[in-house]
Every structure is written in structure tokens, then in C-alpha cells.
Chains A and B, each alone.
Chain A
């Protein structure tokens, strides 16, 4: 008997819809969990996933991927990459591992929702593997930093972060809970798999892998790019869903979720990926700026894909593109200035070489952000370190939970976007964040930003000590300048040489 090729039986094997006899369709697929938008079961049969994968194939391919990631790690274990790395690169690793591994479990929950409640059989098949992918991502990214814990206590945050109320984790969780944990299958497919995974994860898992390779951290580079090969497959869950939504007159709903999640992902990545690419990665190894990586991945590739699916460019796109010139610099300045409330030691990234690179990649940097760093540098040169520490907290946005910031200098134009809703004042960093809130105000209205919690008396005593306690930052973990201010001495030496 001749064996059938996989593609000859795949569609039949995964066609697992049936007409429920004992319960109603809505009991089998509750609309809130499915995100079915009133589209009946029969219409979902046409879902045609571009990546057709069976479970035996999945296991074989994944085994090969894991063998690659773990064997590169083992081969490089004795080469002391971490010990020899610049403290700026060490900060990249700490920020990455604190921000992402625990969120991968949330992503697994999201995939599980599609695997059970997706009305399209093909979605359920792809999401079953996606659910296992995300567990792999959590486990890889917890296992790799674990060996670094004895070398540096800040790596404890790779696992610990998810259980804390650290301000950055509150920001990450606000997005990930919204996008992954608390929405129906269709919204997860649009927001997580399409907006987030065909778009922004490429920035952190491939763009940053390029930086890692330049630095020589092949273990990290190889592991995160291996993760992105899983994303590349299961991110394709969203595309065929968009086709079904468009065919059934639901374009507006699809566009709304996609627009919200692109904006939300952009805000978080401008902080995490932006600072890592433009400041933390040592300048000698920085081939491309955050803005250039955004142009490659988000504009040329992702925005193009959005149009191909029949969706429109988000209404705020011009604003997002304009923000590319300053978002990473504003976030970096906040990271360094508020360094005692980070779980990593933050590099300043403003040596003469850094400044030349920043001015080349972002013309005008010296006249704006550079002038603030001039003041910080002068204070350090004059031994007035206390002036380089914050005395107040930054105002945080009630959507992205990141500081409300803009471009310093003569054209200082920081702007708050305030909103009164049911007797409470909310503040947003941008029109985009305010718009997201207004889409579903009841969903977000109850959340308190770290600043709101201060004002409500949740953080006691209401000072730095109380804040560190509240955020679970233990002694030995709190951040300082990554290079222990050695860069200030380099500038002092250069100035003395110039004066002589």
C-alpha cells in the first residue's frame, strides 16, 4: 500500500470541527473566550494556515533546534564570555532576562487559549505547537541565566522579576496581561501572533542577536535567534484569521486590536530594545542603531505585511516614525538617572566615541539629549555625584506605565495627555496611549501606576527605602553606573590633555 504524503492527509486530519449535539455552539466556544465576533462555526472552516506542520514533524524539528542551542552553550561554557564582556553588554543580558522569560509563560497561556477556544481547526493545531514553543522559550531563558546567578546576583531577576511590583515589570505585565492573558482567541491571534510576533519580537530576538554576534556572545545570539524560528512559524496564526474577519465584515474590529497592540508593543520596545541597542551594546560593536533596526524590521517588513493582509497603516503611524528619533534616548536617560531602582547596572553610554556615534545616527542628539548629559558629566567631574541622583519620581503614563518624556533642549516640549474618567484623573505620555485607554476604558480604569500607588499610600515609608522594598530590590541588586564611572575619568583625562 502506498503511503500518503503529509500534505495529502494534513487538512483532513486537522479538520476537527463537529456539530455539537449536547451543548450549544456558544457553550462549546464561549464568545468571550473564542473572540468569535458572531461568526458561525461553518465560516471558520476556510481558515488556511500557511505553515502546515504535524506533531511528529514538530518534535523532530524542535529536537534539532534544542540540540543546537544547548550544544553551543556547552561548547562555549569555559570561554568566560560573560566575565570578559563589557559591563554594557552584561546590562543587556540582565535587562533581557529580567524582562522576558516569565512573560513567555503568559504567551503559552495565550497559545493555549487559541488551542482550545479558536473556532478554526487550523488555528487550534498551530496554537498547540505554539503553546509548547512558548514553554521552550521560558525554559531556555531561565536555564541560560541560571548559571550566571553565582557570578552576579542581579541575574536572580530572571526568575524573580515576575513575582515583583518592580516598576518595569508592572509596565511589561500591563502589556502582556492585556495582550496575552485576558483576551479571547481571536484577539490573541491578532495582537500577540500578528502585531507582536511578526513585528516586534524580531527586534529583540533577531536585531539584538546581530548585536550579540558582534559582541562575540554566540551563546546568547544563537539561543535567542533559535527562539525566533518558533515565532516565525506560530506567528502565522494571525494572517489567515485576518482573511476570515475581512470576509465576514469585521475589518474594523481587527484593525482596532492590531492598532492597539502595535502601539503598546512599540512603547515597551522603545525602552527595552531601544536602550540596549543604542547605549548598552558597546559602541565598537554597534553596527546598526535602534532606528535602523526599526526601519528594517518594522517599517520595511512588518508595515508591508500589514498592508498585504488587507489592513491599513495605523492612524498614528507618522507619529511612531517621528518618535524613532528620540524614544530610545529618553528611556536611556531615565534608566541611568533612576539607576538605584533598576536590577541591572546601567551604562551611561556617553564617552566621546558614543557621542560621535549617537550624533551620526541621530543628527541633533548633541544639541538635545547631549546637553543634559553635559550637566551630568560636569557634576561628576566636580565630585557632585549627589546631584546626579533623582529626588523625585518620574510621572508615569497610565497606559504604558513608562515615564512621560520628550526631547530636552531649546525645543523642550514634553506634553501630558490628561483625561478625566469617572472622577479620576489619568495621565498619558502620548495620543496613542490615551487612544488605547479610550478604546476600552473599563478594562484599564482600575489599574494604579506606581505613582498612583505612592499617592494612595501603598508604598511605605514613602521614600526611596520604601520604594526599594515595595519593588523587592534587595541590597546587592540595586543598580548603579555599569562602568563604575570610569567613563568620567576618561573624559577628565581628555579635557586635561586638551587644556595642557
Chain B
């Protein structure tokens, strides 16, 4: 880990979800809602770290489709254990982003 002093220089954003159905739905929604962007999913057994560079959107409707049941955006909090970047919470989507791009 010789790069530890440089590891903070990144623009990764996205949710860290507790494992379960919602985490899997969010990982799928991240792919669909951010076309053309590379989404990485790190599985730490207890949680999934779902990330991309710069900005990530998660649409309520996409998560609802992935879950196959009604979903309101603030239910995300039930399993949203942490996140990289800043969060904007809206009725129909959440957005992760940075104010300062490194």
C-alpha cells in the first residue's frame, strides 16, 4: 500500500448498502440510471460498496422495477449505511456527487 498517501485523490461517489435485496436492486439501478459509466460493486459480505466516478443518480422508479414492489425514495435509508461523496435527496431520485473535482 505504497499509495496510501495518495488514496484520497479520487472522485468516487456512491452508496454503501447493507447486504440484501435492496442493495442488489440499487446495484442494478446504478447500471441502468448511469448509462455509459463504469459502476464498480465491491462485496464485503455485510455491505456492498457501489461506486462510479464523479456523479451517480439512482431513480426511484428504477429501484422499484428492480425490487418488483412499490418503493419510496426515503426507504433507501433502511439499508444506506454510508456513502462516498455528497448526497442530494429528492422525491424521485438521489444523486451522489462532489463539489470539488480532484
A: residues with CB less than 8 A from B are 5-7, 50-53, 57, 61, 64-65, 68, 202, 205-206, 209-210, 212-214, 221-222, 225-226, 228-229, 231-233, 236, 239, 287-288, 291-292, 295-297, 299-301, 303-305, 307-310, 313, 318, 321, 324
Contacts and interface: CB of A to CB of B under 8 A. Distances in A.
Nearest to B102: A307
A303 B9 CA distance: 9
Contacts of A305: 84-86
Given A5-B91, A300-B10, A308-B99, A295 B47 contact: no
A318 B74 contact: no
Closest CB pairs A-B (n = 4): A303-B8, A213-B46, A209-B46, A213-B45
Interface of B: 1, 4-5, 7-10, 12, 16, 18-19, 44-47, 49, 74-75, 77-91, 98-100, 102
Say whether chain B's binding surface is mostly helix, strand, loop, or mixed. mixed
Interface of A is mostly: helix
A305 B44 CA distance: 22
Contacts of A212: 46
A52 B80 CA distance: 15
Given A229-B77, A310-B100, A300 B18 contact: no
B47 A232 contact: no
Contact of A232 (B44, B49, B83): B83
Contacts of B88: 50
A225 B77 contact: no
Contacts of B79: 229
Nearest to A243: B99
Contacts of B10: 300, 304
B45 A210 contact: yes
Given A50-B87, A213-B46, A304-B84, A299 B8 contact: yes
A400 to B, nearest CB: 23
A232 B80 contact: yes
A300 B98 CA distance: 13
A54 B4 CA distance: 40
Nearest to A218: B46
A51 B89 contact: yes
B47 A210 contact: yes
